A and B are shown apart, each in its own frame.
Chain A
Amino acid sequence: MRRTLLAAFAACCLLAVAAYADDMTPYPVGHLKPTDSTLKVKVGDTAPDFTLPEINGGTVSLSDYRGKKNVVLSFVPAAWTPVCSDQWPGYNLALDMIHALDAELIGISVDNTPTQAQWAEAMHGLNFPVLSDFWPHGKVADSFGVLRGDGMAERAVIIIDKAGIIRYVDVHDINSRPDLGVMIGELEKLAE
Chain B
Amino acid sequence: MKKHIFTLAACLILTAALVPAASAADLFPDLALQGKISPEHREYLGAPEGDIKISDIGADFAFVEVLSMYCPICQHDAPGVNDMFARTQASDKADRVRFVGIAAGNTPFEVAFYRKKFDVQFPLFEDPEYVAHKALNNVGTPAYYLVDLRDGKRTILIFHEGEIKDKGAFLKTVLDTMEK
Interface size range of chain B in the complex:
35 or more
Q: Identify the stretch in A5-13, A36-44, A131-139 within 8 Å (CB) of chain B at 4 or more residues.
A: A5-13
Is A67 part of the binding interface, using a Cβ–Cβ cutoff of 8 Å? no
Q: In the complex, which residues 164-192 of chain A have their Cβ closer than 8 Å to any Cβ of chain B? A: 177, 179-181, 184
CB distance from A57 to the nearest CB of B (A): 23
A window 116-140: CB within 8 A of B: 123-124
CB neighbours (8 Å) of A17 from chain B are 105, 130
Segment among A90-98, A106-114, A153-161 that sits at the interface with chain B: A90-98
Instruction: Give a binary string over B8-24; 1 marks a CB under 8 Å from any A CB, 0 the rest.
Output: 01110110111000000
Q: Decide: B10 and A86 in contact? CB cutoff 8 A.
A: no
Question: What's the tally of chain A residues with a CB closer than 8 Å to chain B?
Answer: 31
CB-contact partner of B3 in A1, A15, A16, A21, under 8 A: A1
Main DSSP-derived SS at the B contact region: helix
Q: Tell me, yes or no, whether A56 is within 8 Å of chain B by CB.
A: no
A19 CA to B107 CA, complexed, in Å: 14
| Contact for A4 among B7, B105, B113, B114, CB less than 8 A | B7
Number of A-B residue pairs having CB atoms within 8 Å of each other in the complex: 105
A20 within 8 A of B: yes
Q: For the complex, is B140 an interface residue (Cβ under 8 Å from A)? A: yes
Residues of A near B13 (CB, < 8 A) are: 5, 8-9, 11-12
Is there contact, CB below 8 Å, between A90 and B110? Answer: yes
Contacting residues, chain A, for B14 (C-beta < 8 A): 7-8, 11
Contact call A124/B109, Cβ cutoff below 8 A: no
User: B76 touching A177 by the CB < 8 A rule?
Assistant: no
In the complex where A16-B134, A19-B141, A179-B107 touch, is A90 in contact with B70 (Cβ < 8 A)? Answer: yes
Question: Are B141 and A18 in contact, CB atoms less than 8 angstroms apart?
Answer: yes
From residue B34, how far is it (CB to closest CB) to chain A in Å?
15
Q: Which of B70, B133, B139 contacts A89 (CB 8 A)?
A: B70
Q: B10–A180 contact, CB under 8 A?
A: no
Please state if B72 and A21 are interface contacts (CB–CB under 8 Å).
Answer: yes
A121 smallest CB distance to B (angstroms):
11
Q: A93-B75, A123-B72 are in contact. Are A22 and B110 (CB under 8 A)?
A: no
Q: List residues of chain B with CB within 8 A of the CB of A94.
A: 113
| Contact A18 to B17, CB < 8 A, known contacts A86-B70, A177-B70 | no
- Pairwise interchain contact A15-B109, C-beta atoms closer than 8 A: no
Contact assessment for B6 and A15 in the assembled complex, using a CB-CB cutoff below 8 Å = no
Q: Could you list 28 A-B pairs, sorted by A, with CB under 8 Å?
A: A5-B10, A5-B13, A7-B14, A8-B11, A8-B17, A11-B18, A12-B13, A14-B17, A16-B138, A17-B105, A18-B68, A19-B70, A20-B70, A21-B72, A21-B73, A86-B68, A86-B70, A86-B105, A87-B70, A89-B71, A90-B110, A94-B113, A124-B72, A177-B70, A177-B105, A180-B109, A180-B113, A181-B113
A interface, CB within 8 angstroms of B: 1, 4-5, 7-9, 11-12, 14-22, 86-87, 89-90, 93-94, 97, 123-124, 177, 179-181, 184
Chain B residues in the interface with A (C-beta under 8 A)? 3, 6-7, 9-11, 13-14, 16-18, 67-76, 104-105, 107-110, 113-114, 117, 130, 133-134, 138-141, 162-163
